[in-house]
Every structure is written in structure tokens, then in C-alpha cells.
Structure 1
Amino acid sequence: MPGAGIRAAAAPKPVGRYPHARRVGELLFLSGIGPRDPATDQVPGNVHDGDGSLVTHDIDAQTRAVFANVRAVLEASGARWEDLVDVTVYLTDMAGDFAGYNAVWAEYFPDVDTAPCRTTLGIAALPTPIAIELKCVARLRD
């Protein structure tokens, strides 16, 4: 039976009615996590014009922020970065952002043999003006 939903105070609030994570046995399933700053709710690297419309974004800044938010949820759940076993990455600009995000990924996971499995998808949009979102599974150790 699934455990209670987990909410991480150090991560941005979910944008809908769902927990940050849920434990089932030794597995921890994270809901989609984006790069919003937990303190300000702003998206790092987003640049807006005078009308408030999004002009461009910085995938390096957003990737680092989403990794920090994933780490916060893992830690609140009793897991570590090294416990990640599977990550699904959603990018809103696969052609423009894959190389930048992949470079940051390589910094955070330098050893391909211990890195989590990964699938990267190019999608049209996410629910908020973010360029990247991660869906993760970790294995908890007792």
C-alpha cells in the first residue's frame, strides 16, 4: 500500500493537487518537479519583455534549479541524489535546449555507470512558463 504523500518545505509548492513524492515499498516516486525558486516562485533564467511576455530562457539556470528542487524533495523523503534510478526529462525546446541541459546533466552525473536511467522528451508546453521538468524514481535504503 502506498505511503502518505510527502511535501518538501525546501521545494516549490506543487502547481496542482498532488504531493511532491510518494513512497511505495523501497521506491520513491516524485511528481513532476520544475525549476521554480521555492522562496520567490520565480523561474530562474526567464527573460520577459515590457508586457510581461516570455522572451527567452536560460536552460543552464533552469536545469541547475530543477536539480536543486529534486534534491530537496529527495532529502525530505529520506533519499539521496545517488538513490535516483530513473529520470524522465521534459524539454519545451528540444532542438535549442538539449545540448545545454545534457552538459549540466554530465556535471551532476559524471559516471555513466552509476547515473540513473534517463528518457528525454520534447513537448509543446508545460503548465507554467518553464523549459524543463523532471519526473523521477528513487530507491530508498532503510
Structure 2
Amino acid sequence: MSDRVSIDLDGAGHGDTPIPMACRVANLVFSSAVSGRDPADGTRPGEVEREVELAFGNVAEVIRRAGASVDDVAEMTVLVSDESIRKLVDQYWVRMFPDPASRPARHTTVQQLRGGARIQLRFVAVARERA
């Protein structure tokens, strides 16, 4: 019997695809691509800053639902559709991880994202408590 558990976030998830937002196995949490969709209605906002804000908020909520916290994030991959978005990402990154001596590893790439998305975040977290 597996102790793997799927974690989803209605409205901001992967729609009808059979892919959860994240998966927790023991004390490890691995995410799929977390978007900047508004979980209240599933829409992508028109303003890029709001999309970035929602993406970081969605990450925090997925982590919470997995029984962990943003302090447990060990690594994050940031996918953006345009290099100019990196400055916004940095602002929200510092808000989520304010201590420069305790930030996760991060890699940012610029690439075309599906469905007109401008940002997607992926993370690995090591929860302090086992589920």
C-alpha cells in the first residue's frame, strides 16, 4: 500500500486532465506546474503582475494542503513566457522567502507556455512532519 497522496486546488488545477497539482510521498512534496489561475473562478487574469501574484499564492495553498509550509520548500523551478516577468517574480520570491540566508534553490527559464500562461511554478518541499 502506497503512502502517496495527490493534492489538488480546484479552479487553479489542470482541469479535466488526470494530473494532480502535487503529490506527497512520506515527507516529500513534488508539484506539477502551478499556474497563476484564479482559484475562485479558474480564469487567468489580464494583468501579468496579478498572474504572478496568484501563482505564488497557489503554491502556498498547495503546500498548505500537502501538510507543509513554504519554509519546507527546497527547490523551485520558475517558467516564464518573457524575460521581463523575472523582475516581478523576484518581488514575490522575496515576499515568500524574505530571509536571504534561508531561501530555496531556484532555476528560471523563459519558454512558451501552454494556453497563454505567462508563469508556472514547480517545487519540491521536504515537510517537517510525516503525513
The answer to whether TM tops 0.5 is: yes
Unaligned runs of 5+ in 1: 47-56
100, 117, 125: which one aligns with 1:138: 125
Mapped to 2, the partners of 1:70 and 1:104 lie a distance apart of 12
Please identify the structure whose Cα radius of gyration is greater: 1
Aligned residues: 127
Match of 1:24? Answer: 25
TM-score (norm 1): 0.81
Identity %: 28
Match of 1:69? Answer: 58
Mapped to 2, the partners of 1:87 and 1:23 lie a distance apart of 16
Letter in 1 for 2:73: L
Match of 1:91? Answer: 80
Deviation at 1:21, TM superposition (A): 1.1
Deviation at 1:100, TM superposition (A): 2.1
- Whether the 8 Å contact between 2:8 and 2:21 is mirrored in structure 1 is yes
- Structure 2 vs 1, CA of residues 65 and 42 (structure 1 numbering), >3 Å: closer, same or farther? same
Mapped to 2, the partners of 1:20 and 1:61 lie a distance apart of 20
Runs of 4+ in 1 over 4 A off after TM superposition: none
Superposition pairs of residues 77-116 of structure 1, within 5 angstroms: 77-94=66-83, 96-116=84-104
